[in-house]
């Protein structure tokens, strides 16, 4: 067993043990905290596909996170009020079934990512960073000024959506649902990275010309990666809305995009469990520092700076050494 595999196993078990420990100690709040780690970890795993494997530094993934969140929020609202989402040209009824919402969240995030990717991926480097930011800002301002779903006030979910056979209102059950989705997301990440597509994507990052020479268009590989990455982040957005029972434009803000990048770097860029480790550390830091001092952002900033300057490779890099390939 390699060191990284060992570390991943430990992290996965630690994350799983956390809510059960909290449950045993009758401290239900810490179950929600663990769920937050899981959901943010999944969102950052989505970004890791584009950023870590494909080298696409997207500063706009909050857009997909928020779109996923709004899918869950809008569905829940319409389902609760028993109104269709729209009646013309055909009737689209809402549902409160989580699997349907997950598929819709992934689908809509992918749909939004398609034109954004088509334009953004024509650029590279800083231009790519900035144009993804600009698109996310566009979605952000749209959400703020569109009154139907609360605008800046956001949208509250009266009750969590349903998963047959499970009590989603129960914190521990909801944690386990999210945990299962995270594991599924990580599995998808692994399969994609080890597939021919993943090899082509890494090649597109490392040597675009050679990839083109063997007859693969780098643009199409990147676009597929960008859309898949958006879909995963969108799925996490839907879960995040369910966790908070609330969705608002702040999920779409550039700060959120920044935090998603922070999670990936903090944990380790391109590493399977990097985003998960990053999310665990970030939520822990945010919570502990926030409890100790009003100036927690100052210390958070100092820690982030320390990681970039002195701990390249992030938490996973620090604990498991350099990756074997890539």
Partner 1 sequence: MSSALLVEQILNGLQFGVMLFLMAAGLTLVFGVMGLINLAHGSLYMIGAFACAAVAAATGSFWLGLVASLAAAAAAGTLVEVLVIRRLYGRDHLDQVLATFALILIFSEATRWLFGSVPLYLNAPPILSGSIALPGGGQYPVYRLAIILVGIAVALGLWLLISKTRLGMRIRAGENDREMIGALGIDINRLYTIVFALGAALAGLAGAMIGALQSVRVGMGEPVLILAFVVIVIGGIGSIEGALVGALIVGVVDTLGRILLPQLFGAVLGPAQGALVGGAVAAMLIYVVMALVLAFKPRGLFTGSA
Partner 2 sequence: MSKLLAAGLLALTASVSTAALAEPVKVGMITTLSGGLAGLGIEVRDGFLLALKQSGNKDVQLVIEDDNGEPARAVQLAEKVIKADKVDVLTGILYSNLAMAVVPGVVAQKKFYLSPNAGPSPLAGAKCSPFYFNVSWQNDAMHEAMGNHANEAGYKKMFILAPNYPAGTDALRGFKRFYKGELAGELYTKLGQTDYAAEIAQIRASGADAVYFFLPGDMSIAFMKQYKQAGVTIPVTGPGFSLDQDVLGAMGDIALGVKNTSQWSEDLDNPANKTFVDGFRAEYKRRPSIYASQGYDTANLLLSAVAKASVKDGAAFRAALEAADFKSVRGSFRFGVNHHPIQDVYVREVVKVDGARTNKLVGKTFTAHQDAYVKDCKM
Residues that bind partner 1 (CB under 8 A): 51, 57, 59, 119-120, 122-127, 129-131, 133-135, 137-138, 141-142, 144-147, 254, 258, 261-262, 265, 269, 295, 297-298, 300-302, 304-305, 307-309, 312
Distance CA 203, CA 8 (A): 25
Choose the binding region for partner 2 from 41-49, 99-107, 229-237, 288-296 (rule: CB under 8 A). Answer: 288-296
Phi/psi region, residue 213 (left: phi>0; alpha: psi -120 to 50; beta: rest), is alpha
- Does position 254 bind partner 2 by CB under 8 A? no
- Does position 151 bind partner 2 by CB under 8 A? yes
Could you tell me which residues come within 8 angstroms of residue 10 by beta carbon, excluding any fewer than 6 positions away? none
Could you tell me which residues come within 8 angstroms of residue 118 by beta carbon, excluding any fewer than 6 positions away? 223
CB of 146 to partner 1, least distance (A): 7
Partner whose footprint covers residue 99, from partner 2, partner 1, none (CB < 5 to 8 Å by kind) = none
Choose the binding region for partner 2 from 96-104, 224-232, 238-246, 271-279 (rule: CB under 8 A). Answer: 238-246
| Buried/exposed 216-232: b ≥16 CB within 10 Å, e otherwise | bebeebbbbbbbbbbbb
Which of the 8 DSSP states describes residue 53? I
Given the structure tokens 């809402």, which residue do they identify? 94
Partner whose footprint covers residue 265, from partner 1, partner 2, none (CB < 5 to 8 Å by kind) = partner 1
Q: Tell me how many residues contact partner 2 (CB under 8 A).
A: 40
Site for partner 2 in 19-48 (CB under 8 A): 21-22, 25, 27-30, 32-33, 36
Paired residues of 156 in beta bridges: 246
Helix or strand holding residue 35 (H, E): helix 29-48
Partner whose footprint covers residue 288, from partner 1, partner 2, none (CB < 5 to 8 Å by kind) = partner 2
CA 72 to chain centre: 15
Distance CA 45, CA 58 (A): 13
Partner whose footprint covers residue 168, from partner 2, partner 1, none (CB < 5 to 8 Å by kind) = none
- Does position 250 bind partner 2 by CB under 8 A? yes
Axis crossing angle, helix 29-48 with helix 171-194, rounded to the nearest 10: 20
Q: What are phi and psi of 86, to 5 degrees?
A: -150, 160
Contacts to partner 2 by CB under 8 A: 18, 21-22, 25, 27-30, 32-33, 36, 141, 144-145, 147, 150-154, 156, 158, 240, 244-246, 248, 250-251, 284, 286-288, 290-292, 294-297
């Amino acid at each position: 067993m390699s060191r990284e595999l060992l570390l991943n196993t430990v992290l996965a078990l630690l994350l799983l043990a956390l809510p059960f420990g909290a449950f045993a100690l009758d401290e239900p709040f810490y179950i929600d905290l663990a769920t937050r780690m899981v959901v943010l970890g999944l969102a950052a795993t989505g970004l890791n596909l584009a950023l870590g494997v494909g080298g696409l530094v997207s500063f706009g993934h909050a857009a997909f996170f928020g779109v996923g969140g709004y899918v869950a929020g809008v569905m829940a609202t319409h389902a609760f009020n028993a109104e269709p989402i729209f009646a013309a040209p055909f009737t689209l009824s809402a549902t409160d079934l989580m699997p349907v919402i997950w598929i819709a969240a992934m689908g809509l995030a992918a749909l939004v990512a398609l034109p954004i990717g088509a334009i953004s991926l024509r650029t590279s480097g800083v231009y790519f960073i900035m144009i993804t930011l600009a698109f996310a800002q566009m979605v952000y301002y749209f959400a703020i000024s569109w009154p139907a779903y609360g605008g800046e006030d956001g949208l509250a979910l009266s009750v969590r959506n349903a998963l047959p056979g499970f009590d989603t209102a129960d914190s521990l059950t909801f944690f386990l649902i999210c945990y299962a989705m995270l594991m599924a997301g990580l599995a998808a990440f692994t399969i994609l990275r080890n597939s021919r597509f993943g090899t082509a994507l890494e090649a597109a990052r490392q040597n675009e010309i050679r990839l083109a020479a063997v007859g693969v268009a780098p643009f199409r590989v990147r676009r597929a990666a960008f859309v898949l990455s958006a879909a995963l982040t969108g799925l996490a957005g839907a879960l995040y809305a369910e966790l908070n029972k609330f969705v608002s434009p702040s999920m779409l803000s550039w700060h959120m995009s920044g935090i998603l990048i922070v999670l990936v770097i903090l944990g380790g860029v391109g590493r399977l469990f990097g985003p998960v480790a990053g999310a665990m550390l970030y939520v822990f830091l945010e919570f502990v520092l926030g409890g100790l001092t009003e100036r927690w952002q100052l210390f958070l900033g100092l820690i982030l700076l320390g990681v970039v300057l002195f701990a390249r490779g992030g938490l996973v890099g620090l604990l498991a050494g350099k990756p074997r390939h890539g």
